Chains A and B, each alone.
Chain A
């Protein structure tokens, strides 16, 4: 598609429940990025993919967060056993190459109660 698509728009989970977010990058873009935006507007880089391979995961809290980008499927970000501090808006972005500008999706707002 011409835009990055993210589903769902909103997700509410009880503490300890699993949350799974989806992202469809722009067609032809090889790179996918996940970011977390918390209340103070700060964007935290989580993970990036080059096609289906993890490119950099230095921002991921690995004990509970995982992500995949499989061929012919939307990319996904999964949080096992959500915590209150995971409440944030999660943005996916894609780019043609690693150095080019990134195009962002509309985000998924996760609320953990």
Chain B
């Protein structure tokens, strides 16, 4: 079965610093990987996806993610964090439905 894991429940960074939210995957075949963000009392917003092609994927709001096949990872990154990036981030892999990780709460402090 396809699955993803997010090893960190919480990530704290200072505004202006780079941020990384980690995700590893376990799939049979080629992975279709996604990142979503959830703000309080809202649904999930799509950030970016990896289907095939370049390992570095650029997405919304300045986020990017690097697909690493040898490490089976798909970490989300941003060069300079904003306070407004504080939210819950979910990594996901396409199965029949989407299989989500447990989520990582990102807090960016001024």
Contacts and interface: CB of A to CB of B under 8 A. Distances in A.
A52 interface: no
Interface in A33-62: 33, 35, 40-43, 45-48, 55-56, 58-59
- Which of A40, A43, A105 is most buried by chain B, counting CB atoms within 10 A of its CB? A43
A104 B43 contact: yes
B97 A59 contact: yes
A25 interface: no
User: In which size bucket is the chain A interface?
Assistant: 20 to 34
A98 B99 CA distance: 13
B51 A102 contact: no
B39 to A, nearest CB: 11
A101 B46 contact: yes
Contacts of A33: 97-98
A99 interface: yes
Contacts of A65: none
A106 B97 contact: no
Nearest to A42: B102
Interface string A12-39: 0000000000000000000001010000
Given A41-B103, A101-B34, A48 B96 contact: yes
Given A41-B103, A45-B95, A107-B43, 12 more contacts: A43-B90, A45-B96, A47-B97, A48-B97, A56-B97, A93-B43, A98-B96, A101-B49, A102-B98, A104-B36, A104-B44, A105-B43
Interface of B: 32, 34, 36, 42-46, 49, 51, 88, 90, 94-100, 102-103
